[in-house]
Structure 1
Amino acid sequence: MRGLIAIGGIVALTLAGCGQRAQKSEEALTAYDVEAPPAEAPSPPPAPTAAPQIAYSYSLTYRLSGNRIGVVQQRQIALCTQLGSARCRIVSSSVGTTGEGSGHAFGETKLLIDARIAQSFMRRLDGVVGNAGGETAARQTNAEDVTKQIIDTDARVRAKQALADRLMRLIQTANGKVGDLVAAERAFADVQEELDAARSNQAALRQRVAMSDITISYTAREASSIASPVTDSLRNAGVTLGTSVATLINIAISALPWLLALAGLGWLLRRLGWRGIARRIRRRNDA
């Protein structure tokens, strides 16, 4: 019983000491630095600095001819691929039309780009669109300050790590009862689980600062020439003709039972003979 009380007291003192260290370290902690020279392969996290940690995201909308959207998208994706996965990653891409034969094309591409080269990379994206005869329709930049989140997460990681180390030393040097040792191991497992979660959150925050989101939208330029309505009509002629034929087929199928009924009635009347029917009617009237 005394061994269990002693272990509980050690764990409580350890938690209190870690909380004080986390509070003190919060004042001296600095954020992740992304201004280091770019590298082709990911490198270990650099020493934190006091600079604010900003997570940037960008949204670009390009307007160009519908038949050029797919080509432009592939060229922009190729620019990202050339940089390598450490500096640019393709999250998703799509391209299509709003309706069958309508010609209103659209597309979207989502990228993750090294924050240090985001501005220069977007200028290259603009160049690809300009060479294809397109233009930038909209541009938006969002910035989120995650400095406090990073500081808090780093402090939590250090506190949990210190507690896990103390519990491990306690387990390795414990000479008490088996029940006390099991309780200490259970406490260590809980702390280790919390430490893993804090490290995962820490990595996600640093990733948001190091890599910026870029969402690219493509829209088809609306036709403005005099011949555009004629061109659109010719383009949609096949769809219009097919729709008309389908309507006629539906009408014919709907009327088929009635046509068969009328044909049967006419055959019966011919079979009996119009004159015979008329004589029977007169006989009945005379009677």
Structure 2
Amino acid sequence: MITHAIWSSLPRRTRSSLVPAHFVACSALFALAACGEAPEHSGTAENMTSVDMKEESPPPAIAPVDANGGGPIAVSVPRIAYTYSYTYRIAAERIAQVQTRQVELCEKQGPQVCRVLDMRSASSEGDGSGGSMTLAVAAPKARAFGAKLGTIVGNADGEAISSEITGEDLSKQIVDTTARLKARTVLRDRLMEILATRQGKVAELVEAERGVAKVNEEIDQARSWLAEMQGRVDYSEMNLTYVSQGQTTNAFLSPILAALGSLGSILGTVIGALIVLLAVGVPLGLAIWALAWLVRTIRQRNEA
């Protein structure tokens, strides 16, 4: 390092030529000193680590690797919309009571877990009583909630005679709709940029405005589809059917009673057809008879 005495003894021209070199040398020495002293001063190294370094996150889960060497492939969880169907056999006079208790159970869970979409009941003399109800239940709790509904039926001396679970995979539709929504949003932004900068001819700007309106309509439609499919995935549909206990015991008489009940409509249909036939056939028959009589009369005159 050049001391102050030596530096003062040098000519002014020499000192001015050495200033850049002196500055570069000092900068290099400062950098080397900082790098060399870092291991020796553990306190400084720890402070730098706490400020500049972040805690390493745990290694990600192993994902499938692309065969073309493009890195891990993003694996999405299947989006399945489930539908639960239950049929209960209960005494006719207890169907309404069971429905009321099940509705109360649904409302007790709150609208975020269970919602009543539709409820119907029909009571008549004999074995014609029945009913139905449709619920929307949060998908993670649907099975457990179905068991609770069955418990209510069991407490009313009823039983479940059938149960069915069906699922529809909406993964592809959701992915396609999401991709379409992103593409349309990018297109809309580009068209809006053209309109904002006012670059282009008047006809082009008018066409861009029409394009923005059309793209906005498609974006709204895609968002609606996406929300509808997401709702079907988040909330499972639960269809409940209630039949009276006597409806399954008269399997032999039910078709006969149904045929007798429809006999009146069959007779009415036959009589209606006869009326139409008479209304059309009588005038048509009279016209044909009159034409034949006229032909026969003319022929007899010609022969005479």
Q: Which residue of 2 aligns with 1:57?
A: 83
Q: Answer yes or no: is 1:82 the counterpart of 2:132.
A: no
Paired residue for 2:183, among 159, 174, 180? 159
Note the 1:158-197 alignment, pairs <5 A.
Answer: 158-197=182-221
Paired residue for 1:118, among 128, 142, 165? 142
Q: Which residue of 2 aligns with 1:102?
A: 126
Separation (CA, whole Å) in 2 of partners of 1:174 and 1:223: 74
Q: Secondary structure at the match of 1:222?
A: helix
Q: Answer yes or no: is 1:93 the counterpart of 2:93.
A: no
Q: Which residue of 2 aligns with 1:66?
A: 92
Q: Answer yes or no: is 1:211 the counterpart of 2:232.
A: no
Distance 1:144 1:178, change over 3 A: same
Distance 1:223 1:169, change over 3 A: closer
Q: Which residue of 1 aligns with 2:166?
A: 142
Displacement after TM superposition at 1:179 (Å): 2.5
Opposite residue 164 of structure 1, the aligned amino acid is: R
Residue by residue, what CA displacement relative to the aligned partner does 1:82-128 show, whole Å, maximum 9, x if unpaired?
1222221111111113x4x2253101001111101001100110110
CA radius of gyration, larger in: 2
Paired residue for 1:127, among 151, 164, 172? 151
Instruction: Decide whether the 8 Å contact of 1:29 with 1:151 is kept in 2.
Output: no
Structure 2 length as normaliser, TM-score? Answer: 0.55
Opposite residue 114 of structure 1, the aligned amino acid is: A
- Ranges in structure 1 where 5+ consecutive residues have no aligned partner: 1-26, 31-49, 226-287
Which ranges of 4 or more aligned residues in structure 1 deviate by more than 4 Å?
27-30
Separation (CA, whole Å) in 2 of partners of 1:166 and 1:210: 34
Identical residues among aligned pairs (%) = 39
Residue by residue, what CA displacement relative to the aligned partner does 1:53-74 show, whole Å, maximum 9, x if unpaired?
1110010001111111000001
Opposite residue 110 of structure 2, the aligned amino acid is: G
How many pairs were matched up? 178
Distance 1:180 1:156, change over 3 A: same
Displacement after TM superposition at 1:195 (Å): 1.1
Opposite residue 63 of structure 1, the aligned amino acid is: R
- Ranges in structure 2 where 5+ consecutive residues have no aligned partner: 1-71, 250-304
Structure 1 length as normaliser, TM-score? Answer: 0.59
Separation (CA, whole Å) in 1 of partners of 2:223 and 2:247: 53
